[in-house]
A and B are shown apart, each in its own frame.
Chain A
Amino acid sequence: DVKVTQSSRYLVKRTGEKVFLECVQDMDHENMFWYRQDPGLGLRLIYFSYDVKMKEKGDIPEGYSVSREKKERFSLILESASTNQTSMYLCASSFLGATDQPQHFGDGTRLSIL
């Protein structure tokens, strides 16, 4: 079974802090994704990576950056956390070019910025 593991289920941080959300997958997937989930807005893509050190902006990249130093690990970074970044963050992975294959999701990190 594919496993996508997000390092924290719940996280509370303060405004202005630098926040790291970590995601690891064990299926040798090339693609990794970070989404933000908010009520009434569904899932919105923040960043996408199709290879080590490669990244592509999604629909809402402002205020975020990402790092992919190893194939299995994809980190989301909030450079200076703000209260409007309080949300559920979901990581996903999939094979490159396999549009007919599903993305596999982690259980999410519920982040609160105070």
Chain B
Amino acid sequence: AQSVTQLDSQVPVFEEAPVELRCNYSSSVSVYLFWYVQYPNQGLQLLLKYLSGSTLVESINGFEAEFNKSQTSFHLRKPSVHISDTAEYFCAVSDPPDKLIFGTGTRLQVFP
């Protein structure tokens, strides 16, 4: 069975600093990978996804994630965070045909 590991349960960071949220998955076969974000008191929203092609994928709000097949990783990065990025971030891997396996989440706390 597939699994997703998010090693950091909490990441505190100052505003305008860079951040990396780590995600590793277990499968060695082709997978689809997703990052979801959950703002306080809301459901999950898709942030970005890797399906195929370029290993670097970007979101509209400055986040990017790099698919690394040899390390089975899909880390999320942002070069300069904003207060509004404070949220919980979930990495997920496809579990065909229709399901997702989620990691345990990383709470990003951005301080002024």
The count of chain A contact residues (Cβ–Cβ below 8 Å) is 26
Q: Does A25 contact B (CB under 8 A)?
A: no
Q: A45 is contacted by which of B32, B44, B99, B103 (Cβ under 8 Å)?
A: B99
Q: Which of A13-21, A78-86, A105-113 contacts B (4 or more CB under 8 A)?
A: A105-113
- Measured between beta carbons, the chain B residues less than 8 angstroms from A41 are 104
Q: A97 is contacted by which of B43, B90, B97, B100 (Cβ under 8 Å)?
A: B97
Q: B43 is contacted by which of A4, A50, A94, A96 (Cβ under 8 Å)?
A: A4
- Measured between beta carbons, the chain A residues less than 8 angstroms from B97 are 97, 99
CB of B51 to closest CB in A, whole Å: 5
Q: Tell me how many residue pairs across A and B have CB atoms closer than 8 Å.
A: 56
Q: Quick one: closest B residue to A94, CB to CB?
A: B98
B44-76 near A? 1/0 per residue, CB < 8 Å? 111001010000000000000000000000000
CB of A93 to closest CB in B, whole Å: 11
- Measured between beta carbons, the chain B residues less than 8 angstroms from A31 are 98
Q: Does A103 contact B (CB under 8 A)?
A: yes
- Measured between beta carbons, the chain B residues less than 8 angstroms from A107 are 41-43
Q: Quick one: closest B residue to A108, CB to CB?
A: B43
Q: Which 4 A-B pairs have the closest CB atoms?
A: A105-B43, A42-B104, A102-B46, A43-B102
